Amino acid sequence: MSAFPVRVMVQEVWDEIPFSVPSTTSLAELKRRALETARIRRSAGEYVLKFRGAELSDESQSLADAGIAPNAALIVLPRHRRPVR
């Protein structure tokens, strides 16, 4: 399996993290790895993964099955907005 480059922005820390993973990697695994790399300790279930502004709700899909192209940019956001104080 060849490397499949993607970039994941973790909004909570404003870090863009590059990954090179197989295209068979699940969206859930990619989100979990991005949160782990950004040192986010909360559950991955508290976050959503988006591509081109749309939530990728079926995280059991692989990158290829979800239509993610090589070098795509994804973003991980908190599932619920936090109030501004």
For the chain, what are the domain ranges? 4-78
With bands split at pLDDT 50, 70 and 90, how would you rate the model's confidence at 2?
confident
Q: Which residue carries 């990697």 as its tokens?
A: 25
Average pLDDT of the chain, as a whole number:
91
- Residue 13 Cα distances to 49, 61, 65, angstroms: 15, 26, 28
With bands split at pLDDT 50, 70 and 90, how would you rate the model's confidence at 62?
very high
- CA–CA distance, 55 with 58 (Å, rounded to integer): 9
pLDDT at 83: 64
Tell me: pLDDT of 45 over 80.
yes
Could you tell me which CATH number the domain at 4-78 has? 3.10.20.90
| Mean pLDDT along residues 6-24 | 93
pTM, 2 dp: 0.88
Instruction: Kindly give, in sequence order, each residue whose CB lies less than 8 Å from that of residue 37, ignoring residues fewer than 6 positions away.
Output: 10, 15, 17
- 7 has which bridge partners? 18, 73
